[in-house]
Every structure is written in C-alpha cells, then in structure tokens.
C-alpha cells in the first residue's frame, strides 16, 4: 500500500478535526499534530485555514458524488428517489461526520464568498441529479405536479437536509420516520 502524501494526511486530519471539533474550534496546530506534519506544511499545501477548508469542502462534494453513483441507470425515477433516500439515511448513520462538516461549511458559507460558491456547487449537483434522474417528466405527469423538476428537487433537498439536522441534534425515531414520510412521494401514483 502506498503511503499517503503530506497533502492527503493534512486533508484527512483537517476533515477529522473539523468533524470532531467544528471549524471555529479547530486550529491549524491541531491539524498539523493530527497529521503528524510541520505546521508550515499546511501553508505550503493550502495557503491558509480557509484554503484548507475549501479543500475539505471538495472532499465532502466528492463523497456525495460517490454515494450518488449507486443509483443505477436501469432504475425507474420512483426507484431512484427511494434509493437516494435510503442511501442518505445509511450515510447519515454510518458517516455523521460528513454531515457535521457539511453543516459547518454551510454556516461559514454565509460569510465567505469562496465557500458560498463551493456550497452552492455541492447543492446544485444534488439538485441537478434529482431534476434529471428522479423528478422526470414521467414522474411529474404521473403525480400530476405542475412544478418544474428544479423546484421539486430544491424542495426535496431542503427536506432531507433539514431532517438530517434534526437527527444530528437529537436522533429520535420520529426524525428517522420523517425520511419515511418524505419517501411517500415516491410511493404515490395516480390510480
């Protein structure tokens, strides 16, 4: 197995420390210690803390893209919607740190234009995926919806994003049942 580069070690450490402590509580010194590299290496590879955070944001976006690849081309839009919700729940359960980092990024993006752009890109990828793969013309016609795929995709993303916040704050059964309620959209068919 190849040894990780210093850049990868720093990025792994930054992701882990931010997920555990939050961006505001994270120092470059903590990251350097966890990565077992000299503090100067962070500046060399990422310029500053915000540059490192942007790289962590790209990692979060890449991770989301990986799990979306599990949607199979031969699935119906209904099946893709249900599959996406199931995958989202699985990742929330198995990798809550991914969501902690994402929510930290979202909060910081409200004050930083480079982060704002990156977070918008992450969300736009998910919205575009839903608009083209799930909320297709066939599904919309069958449900009788007159909203555009983009509008419904944004609403759907907002719903799952909010449910995930509820679960991270207090993992109650009712919050998990909210995913099931949202999944009802894909079980309703015109009769």
| Grouped pLDDT means (10 residues each) for the chain, 191 residues | 81 94 93 94 90 88 76 84 87 89 91 88 86 87 86 91 90 83 73 42
- pLDDT, residue 174, reads 82
- pLDDT, residue 8, reads 93
Asked if residues 143 and 71 have their Cβ atoms less than 8 Å apart, the reply is no
* Angle of CA points 64, 166, 93, to nearest 5°: 50
Cβ contacts of 120 within 8 Å, gap of 6 or more? 109
- pLDDT, residue 87, reads 87
Tokens found for residue 94: 């198995």
Q: 0.95 cut: is pTM over it?
A: no
Q: Which domains does the chain have, with CATH numbers?
A: 1-47 (1.10.10.60), 56-186 (1.10.357.10)
Q: List the end-to-end C-alpha distance of the chain, in Å, as a whole number.
A: 56
- pLDDT, residue 189, reads 57
């Amino acid at each position: 197995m190849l040894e990780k580069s210093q850049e990868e070690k720093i990025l792994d450490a930054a992701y882990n420390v931010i997920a555990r402590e939050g961006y505001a509580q994270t120092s470059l010194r903590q990251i350097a210690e966890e990565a077992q590299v000299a503090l100067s290496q962070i500046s060399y590879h990422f310029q500053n803390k915000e540059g490192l955070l942007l790289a962590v944001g790209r990692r979060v976006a890449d991770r989301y893209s990986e799990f979306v690849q599990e949607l199979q081309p031969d699935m119906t839009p209904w099946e893709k919607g249900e599959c996406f919700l199931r995958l989202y729940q699985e990742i929330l359960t198995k990798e809550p740190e991914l969501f902690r980092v994402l929510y930290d990024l979202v909060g910081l993006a409200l004050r930083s234009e480079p982060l704002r752009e990156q977070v918008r890109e992450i969300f736009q990828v998910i919205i575009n995926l839903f608009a083209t793969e799930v909320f297709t013309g066939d599904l919309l016609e069958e449900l009788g919806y007159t909203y555009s795929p983009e509008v419904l995709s944004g609403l759907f993303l907002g719903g799952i994003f909010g449910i995930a916040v509820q679960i991270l704050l207090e993992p109650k059964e009712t919050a998990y049942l909210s995913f099931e309620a949202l999944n009802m959209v894909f079980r309703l068919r015109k009769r």
